[in-house]
Structure 1
Amino acid sequence: MPADHPGGQRRRIEVTGGDPAGDGAGPLGVRALPAAGGFVASTAGQSVTQPDAALDAIRWGFGLLPAAAMLAALLLQRRYTLDRAARAGD
């Protein structure tokens, strides 16, 4: 038994579905929010005025929504433990 692991057991966790889905959902959301707010695209040298709704959507997409997602992740992970004794009580 390896001395560096309790009980001599080594465990490997593989995440196969959630990571790629999460990696794709972030950029999709960042692009979708300004579009939903009426973002106006421009070309080099062209000046456009963005509607207030598009600016608000950008603020939400880069500030409040990521913070809310992080808070939700922290709340979900609060009860997670690797301690076998603690899990046995649940």
Structure 2
Amino acid sequence: MLASLWQTRALLRAQLVEEGFEVLATDTWPMMRQYLRLGWKPRLAIVDLQGLPDRERALNGLRILMKPNRVLVLYLRREIPGINGTRRMAP
């Protein structure tokens, strides 16, 4: 899980652990990228774009390192101009 805000990261991680999932949570894209490059392939990568610096870089990197159906992106529409509704990462 990638979330720059510690509150979001802590709450999501706690709920997922409570549900029985193993969760690796980080606040920076370089750290998440490092784990993914080392061969750690989660069933699902959760990315919260709120407050995340260099969002485009993180999303572009995820397109390379993860299958699109294994990425869940959380965002507020008002924070990201030009996004209306749901978008797929794959073409």
| TM-score where L is the length of structure 1 | 0.26
Higher relative contact order (CA 8 A, sep 6+): 2
